[in-house]
A and B are shown apart, each in its own frame.
Chain A
């Protein structure tokens, strides 16, 4: 098994310390394109797509393995081993923050820092814990996803994807959603939004940065506060950036926050 091909791994940059960027649900490694140039000079940038997303090898998708975030954490560790990475700065967006937590708990010696962009250990409310969503609202997301994948992906995409004579069709798909398979996308959504990693975050020994956005409906302020309280060695940084994707909407502020954090000694 070639992990680097399977996960469409890209390595570049002039530095030696690796910065491993992990995309979130619904996206692929392209989401980091506004951020990575700022780190190229000083770090070794590693980008990848989770199996089932972007240009990963869909044939390697295993419904069992990716039914929970654990399978995604294994993707991360597979890449760390394949490239023999040490002293890794892991940057994860959204659900990938928890994937990073799981990976770092398994092999803490490989990781130097965790940078978490819009993290949440649990999206569904569980009184008194506030995740921001009711279970039924997540079902609403699944319906919206189904409808958005129905037009082309569900019925046409498999045929188009297997048409090597017309690569431009694949390009068009790339311009659309990052996950091209509706079943995989749905399972990723379920693994993400029904996950509960509150116990895992308490075990983290690697120093971490929580980048908390303003007005983020997916990871509200209360969640950021909860994480900072529960996670040992965590640093909480509030961004002025609104929404859930500051690395796309406000890349400069995001870059500055990460750089500042990396300059500081890690929290004890």
Chain B
């Protein structure tokens, strides 16, 4: 049955139609809309128009659609989502006009179902949102890039500053290096001058000392008349003092000559056993006096390349030290072996008083003896080890010391093997 108000023509029109009063109650609805929503006519007529809207559409109706109708009597192309009887949403485009009809104000609406267009609009909205998001991301990343650029620029500036500072420091260092080199050369020159001075002075000192020795002998021999026993004893003391002074001067002269680079080395192949044999007799009386045992472990085959006189001087120094600083009944051991492929070691090991670890490093310094009491007990100039090491190094060798207090010391002379 057709709606009496709508009539047959509108009832079958290919669009929905609904008319409702100002209070929202539906007065008329066409068959197309009923079919669209799945309602029977008597289910809808009398109901409130809002009741066929989704909640979102109801709010929109109240806040937008209704005011438009009131203020302008019409509203065009309004998108409203209707709710069908089965709960499904039906998107529609609505044109509405509010007019007086049959003695009351009514709003008449034409509704077009939109399916494809709604999808298209959804896609359009999505695309727009994505574009906006992408744009926002781009703007953000551009901002980040700009920040990074600023940071990089700051870092570059800092690096430049640092590089400038480094350049300045480098220049200063180079200047200082030049200064140091100059200072070093000045020091070397001064040292050489000192050594030359000492060498000269030692020679000048030996002449009068030799004269003293000569005149003492003349007196002792009674050339100038008889000598009393007391006078003889005094002359003996003068003689001993003269010899000590002469030895001291000889050592100073040696050291000075070495330091001044005035020593010549006559390098030749030398059998180590021969060297030991030639030196040992010189200290044997001293060792015998202190009842020291003496051991020699030197393979006959060992050969070194060195200056005979200098090696003998070093060995004599080491052996006489060992004899001096080893208490009676002790022992002195001379041993030699290959140190490595190119080097022979000759060791002089004693059971003497030893050297404290903190003093060991300085025993090779000129004028150093381990302590003054030991110096007094064992007369010496304190130059022997210093001269010995200089000589060893002059022959491309080395002199080293190891020691344990109250156990003994071992001095090792390294020399290039022959």
Interface on A for B, CB 8 Å cutoff?
24-27, 30-31, 33-34, 94, 133, 137-148, 150-151, 154, 175-178, 193, 215, 217-218, 242-245, 248-249
Contact = CB atoms under 8 A, between A and B. Distances in A.
Contacts of B76: 176
B77 interface: yes
A101 to B, nearest CB: 20
Contacts of A146: 125
Interface stretch (B58-66, B161-169, B196-204, B336-344): B58-66
Contacts of A27: 63, 67
B66 A245 contact: yes
A150 B121 contact: yes
B125 A150 contact: yes
Interface in B76-114: 76-81, 91
Contacts of A30: 71
A240 to B, nearest CB: 10
Contact of B60 (A139, A141, A178, A245): A141
B376 interface: no
A242 B24 CA distance: 9
B57 A144 contact: yes
B128 interface: yes
Contact of A248 (B58, B67, B75, B91): B67
B60 A175 contact: no
Contact of A140 (B24, B57, B118, B128): B57
B23 interface: yes
B54 interface: yes
Nearest to A192: B63
B72 interface: yes
Given A30-B71, A146-B125, A148-B79, A140 B64 contact: no
A245 B70 contact: yes
Contacts of A94: 63
Contacts of A142: 56
B137 interface: no
Given A176-B68, A249-B70, A243 B57 contact: no
B259 interface: no
Nearest to A24: B63
A245 B24 CA distance: 12
Nearest to A142: B56
A236 B189 CA distance: 114
B66 A145 contact: no
Interface residues of B, number: 34
Given A33-B71, A154-B128, A144 B81 contact: yes
B333 to A, nearest CB: 97
A193 B63 CA distance: 12
A26 B121 contact: no
B124 interface: yes
- Which of A33, A138, A151 has the most chain B CB atoms closer than 10 A to its own CB? A151
Interface string B128-158: 1000000000000000000000000000000
Contact of A144 (B22, B24, B79): B79
A102 B80 CA distance: 33
A140 B118 CA distance: 15
Given A154-B128, A248-B67, A249-B22, A243 B77 contact: no
A243 B60 contact: no
A34 B59 CA distance: 22
16 contacts: A26-B67, A27-B63, A30-B71, A31-B67, A137-B54, A137-B59, A140-B57, A141-B55, A141-B56, A144-B56, A144-B80, A145-B64, A176-B76, A242-B23, A242-B24, A248-B66
A25 B124 CA distance: 26
Of A139, A147, A243, most buried by chain B (CB within 10 Å of CB) is A147
Nearest to B50: A217
Contacts of A249: 22-23, 66, 70
Contacts of A244: 62-63, 66
A140 B56 contact: yes
B78 A218 contact: no
A243 B56 contact: no
Given A26-B64, A217-B58, A245-B62, A140 B23 contact: no
A143 B56 contact: yes
A139 B22 CA distance: 27
B64 to A, nearest CB: 5
Contacts of B24: 242-243
A171 to B, nearest CB: 11
Given A144-B81, A150-B125, A242-B23, 4 more contacts: A26-B60, A141-B60, A148-B78, A217-B59
A143 B59 CA distance: 12
Contacts of A137: 54-56, 59
B114 to A, nearest CB: 9
Contacts of B79: 144, 147-148
A140 B63 contact: no
Contacts of A139: 56
A202 B45 CA distance: 43
A175 B64 contact: no
A26 B63 contact: yes
A175 B64 CA distance: 11
Interface in B21-74: 22-24, 48, 50, 54-60, 62-64, 66-68, 70-72
A31 B71 contact: yes
A147 B70 contact: no
Contacts of A140: 54-57, 81
Nearest to B75: A176
A218 B50 CA distance: 12
Contact of A150 (B56, B57, B80, B124): B124
Contacts of A24: 63
A33 B55 CA distance: 28
